[in-house]
Amino acid sequence: MLIVMHKGATEEQVQKVCKHLENAGLTPHPIPGATRVSIGVTGNKAQIESDQLSMMPGVFELIQVTKPYKLTSREMKPEDTIVDINGVKVGGGEVIVIGGPCAVESPEQTMSVARSVKQQGGHMLRGGAFKPRSSPYAFQGLGKEGLEILKAAREETGLPVVTEAVDTDSFGMVEEYSDVIQIGARNMQNYALLKRAGQSKRAVILKRGFAATVTEFLLAAEYIMAGGNYNVILCERGIRTFSNHSRFTLDLSTIPELKRITHLPVIVDPSHAAGRRDMVMPLARAAVACGADGLIVEVHNSPETALCDGPQALTPELFTVLMRDVPRLAAIVRGYEAQ
């Protein structure tokens, strides 16, 4: 259910409605809007006593939410959510580009890439300190040492850091060093990890699972938001299909569909979808044309020696081209002037 408050409803009236819901064993989620506050309600296993609620001071109307996902739905919040990460606004109109290596390998490698990303106008730095790999013998990341390297890169460049949490045990450590916590495709339905992310004050990038439907994707985001963390960014990164010419198949149709049914910002990872450097740029341009709020791409100063996903990493030179093309294309497609 969604409780819409009057435009002139006071903070005291909002809090009284929230308290009433809590006393009934429900969980209220105040949602500030442009002109009024709404209160999303979750946890109701039975019919809510709507007559009593509708008569409370400040309440304008009650709306039943029909989707299985509640907090992520536009029924609950019609306005787009803007996730502000140290001044970088994801979903605010500008196409945000996150660049960096798949894995943090050394201070020299990470700092070199971070400087290139910063110099060419990238908005955030990505890099994995913990790496969930298909093979137990593949490079698993530097762990805390990698987080320390990312921290140093942030201090020099000023770029907010995006890095992945792979389990609940290391989540607190990742939370301490990062600005945005990524939950990868393999963990999209790791419910313990999603619940832990819901308790975090950090923004979360949630990647779509290899074979997840849109509804399953949004329900995974619902776990995070139900825990109280509303700063969620959805990431389309390709799904498993019969095609064998790319690592995954980038589901571009997901972008406009998500923009239609959810208020959360949507970014795209063309690197993991392609698995090949020559496909990353075209897929990135296509994602922008489809309405993505941002891109997250792999950048490496020496892809041929990379310990992780070198074949799909852009060189700094190619990243320069991407940063030239993105605002131009966005200006044409979206009808706003390039920044």
pLDDT of 338 strictly over 50: no
| Mean pLDDT within 306-325 | 95
In this predicted model, what pLDDT tens digit does every residue of 112-147 receive, in sequence order?
999 999 999 999 999 999 988 778 878 888 999 999
- The string of pLDDT tens digits covering residues 262-312 is 999 999 999 999 999 999 999 999 999 999 999 999 999 999 999 988 999
Question: Higher-confidence residue: 50 or 221?
Answer: 221
Report the pLDDT value the prediction gives residue 46, as an integer from 0 to 100.
59
Mean pLDDT of the chain: 93
* Architecture of the structural domain at 83-334: Alpha-Beta Barrel (3.20)
pLDDT for 101 beyond 60: yes
The pLDDT of residue 211:
95
Side chain identity at 96, as an amino acid letter?
I
Task: Work out the average pLDDT over 153-157.
Answer: 97
> So what's the pLDDT on residue 337?
44
Q: Give the CA radius of gyration of the chain.
A: 21
Q: Quickly state the pLDDT bin for 45 (edges 50, 70, 90).
A: low
Res 336 pLDDT > 60 = no
Write down the pLDDT at residue 247: 92
**Burial (CB count within 10 angstroms: exposed 0-12, middle 13-18, buried 19+), residue 260:** exposed
* Mean pLDDT of all residues in 97-114: 96
- Average pLDDT (319-332) is 94
- What confidence tier does 47 reach under pLDDT thresholds 50, 70, 90? low
**Residue 104 token pair:** 């943090």
The larger pLDDT score, comparing residue 50 to residue 57, is at 57
The pTM of the full predicted model, rounded to 2 decimals, is 0.90
Asked if 233 contacts 295 with a C-beta cutoff of 8 angstroms, the reply is: no
Q: What is the mean pLDDT of residues 219-247?
A: 95
Question: Whose structure tokens read 């979903």?
Answer: 91
Confidence of residue 256 (pLDDT cuts 50, 70, 90): very high
* Spans of all domains in the chain: 2-63, 83-334
pLDDT of residue 113: 97
Structure tokens at 246: 């790319």
Would you tell me which CATH number, out of the four given (3.30.310.80, 3.30.70.1140, 3.40.50.10140, 3.10.105.10), belongs to the domain 2-63? 3.30.70.1140
Mean local confidence (pLDDT), 29-43: 87
Helix crossing, 214-226 with 254-261: angle to 10°? 50
